[in-house]
Amino acid sequence: MRYFEKISVFLSVVVLFLIGTSDLQADDITARSSFRDGMTKEKDEKYLAAAAAFEEAHVQANDPVLKANALMNTARCYRKARQYGKEFDVLQGLIKVHISRINFTAVVQRQYEIAEMYFKGHRDYFVSWLPFITKEDRTTELFEKVLENAPCAEPAAEIRLGLGRLYVNSQKPQKAAETFRKVLQLHPDTREAKYAALELANLFMQLAENGDGDGKYAKEALETLENFLKKHPDDSEADWIRRSIKKVNSYIAKRFCRLGDFYKKSGKNKTAEHYYATVLSDYPDTPEARDAEKKLAQLDKEFMPSKKPYEPEKQNFVEAEFPQEPEKLLVQPDDSNGSFLLPVKDLKRNVSAPEKIRTFKEEVDDDAL
Per-residue pLDDT of the chain (369 residues; tens, 9 = 90+): 454 455 554 445 444 444 444 454 557 788 888 899 999 999 999 999 999 999 999 888 888 889 899 999 999 999 999 999 999 999 999 999 888 888 998 999 999 999 989 988 888 876 544 455 556 788 899 999 998 998 888 888 888 999 999 999 888 999 999 999 999 999 988 899 999 999 999 999 888 887 666 788 888 888 899 888 888 888 888 888 888 888 888 888 888 888 888 998 888 988 888 888 888 888 888 888 888 888 888 877 666 555 555 555 565 655 666 666 666 555 555 555 655 555 555 555 555 555 555 554 544 444 443
Between the CA of residue 79 and those of 85, 115, 137, 146, 255, what are the distances in Å? 9, 13, 18, 18, 55
Between the CA of residue 263 and those of 205, 258, 266, 278, what are the distances in Å? 26, 9, 5, 14
So what's the pLDDT on residue 26?
A: 55
So what's the pLDDT on residue 11?
A: 47
So what's the pLDDT on residue 128?
A: 46
Distance CA 83, CA 201 (A): 38
So what's the pLDDT on residue 46?
A: 93
Domain ranges of the chain: 11-81
What is the model's pTM? Answer: 0.66
So what's the pLDDT on residue 17?
A: 43
